[in-house]
Amino acid sequence: MKDLDFATLLSVFQEMMGPLLWLLVLLAVAGIAAFLFVLVREGGLKGGRLVRSELIGVAGGFMALVIMAWVTVSGFTDAGGPVDWLLIGIIWGIGVVGTTILAYAVMGLVAMMRGSKRIA
């Protein structure tokens, strides 16, 4: 095995996903930016909203696993060793974190818009 190379990985992911790769990157960047924006504007995390986002995030984690099973035409009963469970954990984790951040940002933006309407 030779060393991993970023240009190679990028090329492989482009072949894998086509334009969707950039849509996903955009979604991730926009989601994080919106989350940070909400965080700064509100001066901290809102506990209630965070809990709601995390609950949605857990569902997002399972959704990531379902999508993965679908695209690989396989299921998690196929896990055969520790690295498989690690992979399943990583996929679930990405789904949880991604969905939580997005959900928190969206709820925060919606709350801000409602607030500004009330003021107006």
Q: What residue ranges bind another protein (CB under 8 A)?
A: 1-5, 7-9, 11-21, 23-24, 63-68, 70-81, 83-84, 87, 90-91, 94-95
- CB closer to another protein, 10 vs 55: 10
Question: Quick count: other Cβ atoms within 10 Å of Cβ 24?
Answer: 13
- CB closer to another protein, 57 vs 108: 57
CB of 57 to another protein, least distance (A): 14
- CB closer to another protein, 12 vs 45: 12
CB of 32 to another protein, least distance (A): 16
CB of 47 to another protein, least distance (A): 29
Kind and range of the H or E run holding 89: helix 82-119
CB of 43 to another protein, least distance (A): 32
Determine the distance from the C-alpha atom of residue 77 to the mean position of all C-alpha atoms in its chain, rounded to a whole number. Answer: 24
Largest CA distance in the chain: 62
- CB closer to another protein, 14 vs 42: 14
DSSP 30-61: HHHHHHHHHHHHHTS--HHHHHHHHHHHHHHH
Angle at the Cα of 77 (from 91 to 100), degrees rounded to 5? 25
